[in-house]
Chains A and B, each alone.
Chain A
Amino acid sequence: QSALTQPPSVSGSPGQSVTISCTGTSGDVGGYNYVSWYQQRPGKAPKFMIYDVNERPSGVPDRFSGSKSGNTASLTISGLQSEDEADYYCCSYAGTYSFVFGTGTTVTVL
């Protein structure tokens, strides 16, 4: 149950795109299409942004998209906005009804 690996930080200018990677193993990310992503602003609870690799819950802007290749999942934020500045966490199903989160990535809008 080791945490999934994410880059500590990514940054971009308004309007640009940024991509956050989330690397696991064949026992979690690579083995299941049940990767979700969460946005967490300072002092706030996580917000559900993506599920099942690339599905958006209602109300999440289509600027947010997800993908997966092998043991690595990715979250892309297109048309970066100042309100997107936050921490982002991936989460994968890891079998036998357990889950594992990523190490977290801070997105900075320059």
Chain B
Amino acid sequence: QVHLVESGGGVVQPGKSLRLSCAASGFNFNNYGMHWVRQAPGKGLEWVAIVSYEGSKTYYTNSVKGRFTISRDSENTVYLEMNNLRPDDTALYYCARARGIFWFEKLLSPDFWGQGTLVTVSP
């Protein structure tokens, strides 16, 4: 079955960097786009970024553009490089799989989710 495990979270000072990882298994990783979605403590879900199945296309929510970079490798891992972190980036970060293979708008809604990794940005 689909299994996603996030790691790399922690406590970091404002302005610093952090790289999150998401290890995927149970499906043909190379055929699916992947998302990062975050949830601030006690708040709702916020879509952060998506990477295409082959890694060439990336898209971001406006508040992280120029600071965050989503990428993936051929070993079933997707990454979120986060630079110049701010206190409002504090959240539980989930990775999620796009529901369909390849790259069609219709098939990109997130379906399976990991359990998340917590990022805390604090002085």
Contacts and interface: CB of A to CB of B under 8 A. Distances in A.
Chains A and B bind each other: yes
Interface of A: 1, 3, 32, 34, 36, 38, 40, 45-48, 51-52, 57, 89, 91, 93, 96-104
Interface residues of B, number: 26
B81 interface: no
Contacts of A93: 105, 108-109
A47 B111 CA distance: 8
A55 to B, nearest CB: 10
Interface of B: 35, 37, 44-47, 50, 57, 59-62, 94, 96, 99, 105-106, 108-116
A1 B109 contact: no
A36 B44 contact: no
Contact of A45 (B99, B109, B115): B115
B99 to A, nearest CB: 6
A57 B105 contact: no
A3 B45 CA distance: 9
Nearest to A94: B47
B105 A32 contact: yes
B89 to A, nearest CB: 16
Contacts of B62: 1
18 contacts: A36-B110, A45-B114, A45-B115, A46-B110, A48-B109, A51-B99, A89-B45, A91-B45, A91-B109, A93-B108, A93-B109, A97-B59, A97-B105, A98-B61, A99-B109, A100-B47, A101-B47, A104-B45
